[in-house]
Structure 1
Amino acid sequence: MDVIAQLPLWTAWLRASERSETTVRLREYHVRRYLNGLPAETDPLDLEWLVSYLANPRWKAATRRSARASLHIWTTWLHRTGRILSDPLALIPPARAPRSVPRPCPDPIIRKALLAADTRLRAMITLAAEAGLRRGEIATVSRSDVIEEQAGSSLIVHGKGRRERTVPLTAATSDAVQRQFMRVSPELPWLFPSKGQYADTHVQPIRVGELINEALPGRWSAHTLRHRFATEAYRNSHDLLLVQTLMGHSKPETTAIYVGLDTAQARTVVDGISLVA
């Protein structure tokens, strides 16, 4: 069976199950990327090839979980619709999401990345670090999402689960967004139009993450910019509900995971209980 020929049917199934277009594009991207990297005459459903692909040592844990989820949704669909006799990925235990402490990217590292960034990358970085957008939310920003208000610009953000929220933009982020729009054809609605296979739509979220991650050194990533936003927003407001709203979280417990420790305040507390006078 030609599994590549089955992809349009699979993506139609995803849309029919009310997946967002961003999710559909991401899932299809992961599967196509896997299939396009296979040697000729290779069985794409061979367990060893699937395991070898997902074991890529250069991937971060979040990238591996996302790719595995896409491939598993695909193989499960092939199995449940009778196209294959068994689901090979059913043999791989679910990936565990590590419970880690918040890791807000330090401001000096962000500033250095901005100095070396072009117009497009600068807009991506500031939207993550100063507006708290996820990579999928950055990818889908369009002209109609920008709101000009008396106090400044705001942005309608299209979040997970098709939930929308409005986030005020800093002057620097607003300027970066406007400069990027000036580079885009007025006929295109997207802030970051796609240049590849999907030239009629926005850039893929995974590409946004790759570009930002490449601009940051070491362990810092696009997601740590979102941690930075949550930490600074809470430090300035001490209002977890407000930060939850700005982040687009459904639960305050999720927001708390993103808020980094205020080390200056913590040091004052710890110094105050010192046994040494």
Structure 2
Amino acid sequence: MTPPRKSGPAPLPVPAGWDGLIEGYRQHLQAAGRPKTTIATRLAHISRIARALDVSPTRVTGRVLKSWFATQTHWSTETRRGYRNSARSFFGWAHDDGQIGTNPSTELPHVAAAVPLPKPAPDRVWKESLLAADARTAVMLELANGVGMRRAEVAQVHTNDLIESFDGYQLLVHGKGNKKRLIPITDEVAAMIQRGAAGHTPGASTEGYLFPGNDNGHLSPRWVGTLCAKAMPDVWTMHKLRHRFATRAYRATRNIRAVQRLLGHASVATTQIYTAVDDHEMRAAVVGASGSGVQTPWQTAA
């Protein structure tokens, strides 16, 4: 039997005094039923903060924490929001639990949410990615491009998630917040999943997780994203293939609610961020709006 693939590099250690507190925070998040991906993100953020500040958690002040945040000038708005949310969650819990005397994160300023523009991966990027990918990564890319799945959802695909219905095959997707959804898939994608890990790795099992690893039996979402990013050109990421799927699905159906359900979004507003408007459609809209039927002075002069 082929041994499980690694899930990714081992996490770096944190300074003394943080280990027990971070473990307690992990248990707190698990007891609250937070998704594994959220827990992993929160712990990664706090571990990095711990290594950067290099003082015991009881000596972290609002000024120290705010000063470190101020030095992270390369962060995007969403990254800054994510770290702030993690800091407020962690230090808030530690203070409420009596582990620290004050909550330094209350001094972190509010970070307004950015409204990102959709950036679907173009055909060139999709083709180059497939050419550069090995067999296993190509399957990951196809699940993002052809099904619109998140990296965490791709990581958890299991052969048992494939369901044959009256209308064709469906896939049970394990989404964010432990939410599950059934989405229709093509016969080609169904066949790819039916083959299991053996479909991309000779000698692997035809049953079980499509991408075996050490994260509860499958690869970690972070490692799935890393593998896809290595195959994609420039700074393109796996998530932009999800944008590509959303844009193409909307253009094919003009049904934003259908695309919302396929992507597993709680809000249509989120889905709208993912769907890019065709340049030809915008040009047609401008041309249509400009035709008032009244001859203008410059048209007369011509």
The question of a shared fold, defined as TM-score above 0.5 by the shorter chain, is answered with yes
Displacement of 1:247:
1.1
Match of 1:241 in 2: 257
Q: Which amino acid aligns with 1:269?
A: A
The within-5 A match list for 1:34-73 is 34-35=49-50, 37-38=51-52, 42-43=55-56, 45=60, 48=64, 52=68, 56=72, 60-73=76-89
Q: Which amino acid aligns with 2:41?
A: L
Q: Which amino acid aligns with 2:150?
A: R
Q: What TM-score, normalized by structure 1, do the two folds share?
A: 0.80
Displacement of 1:15:
1.8
Distance in structure 2 (CA, Å) of the matches to 1:85 and 1:262: 55
Q: What TM-score, normalized by structure 2, do the two folds share?
A: 0.75
Which range moves more in the overlay, 90-99 or 53-62?
53-62
Match of 1:203 in 2: 219
Q: Which amino acid aligns with 1:115?
A: L
5+ residue gaps in structure 1?
none
Displacement of 1:62:
3.7
Match of 2:239 in 1: 223
The within-5 A match list for 1:153-192 is 153-170=169-186, 173-174=189-190, 177=193, 181-182=197-198, 183=201, 185-186=204-205, 189-192=208-211
Match of 1:27 in 2: 42
Percent of aligned pairs with the same amino acid: 34
Match of 2:213 in 1: 194
Displacement of 1:63:
4.0
- Structure 1 residue ranges, 4+ long, deviating more than 6 angstroms after superposition: none
Displacement of 1:138:
1.9
1:124-164: CA deviation from partner (whole Å, max 9, x where unpaired): 22222211112222222222212345765432111223321
Displacement of 1:57:
5.5
Distance in structure 1 (CA, Å) of the matches to 2:192 and 2:73: 34
Which range moves more in the overlay, 22-31 or 52-61?
52-61
Which range moves more in the overlay, 180-189 or 61-70?
180-189
Distance in structure 1 (CA, Å) of the matches to 2:243 and 2:169: 22
Distance in structure 2 (CA, Å) of the matches to 1:180 and 1:72: 41
Q: Aligned pairs, how many?
A: 272
Distance in structure 2 (CA, Å) of the matches to 1:129 and 1:223: 9
**What is the SS of the residue equivalent to 1:147?**
strand
Specify the structure having the higher radius of gyration (Cα). Answer: 2
Which range moves more in the overlay, 86-95 or 232-241?
86-95
Match of 2:106 among 90, 97, 105: 90
Report the RMSD for the aligned CA atoms in angstroms. Answer: 3.3
Distance in structure 2 (CA, Å) of the matches to 1:259 and 1:189: 33
Q: Does the C-alpha gap of structure 1 residues 78 and 185 become closer, same or farther in structure 2, counting only changes over 3 Å?
A: farther
5+ residue gaps in structure 2?
1-15, 292-298
Match of 1:256 in 2: 272
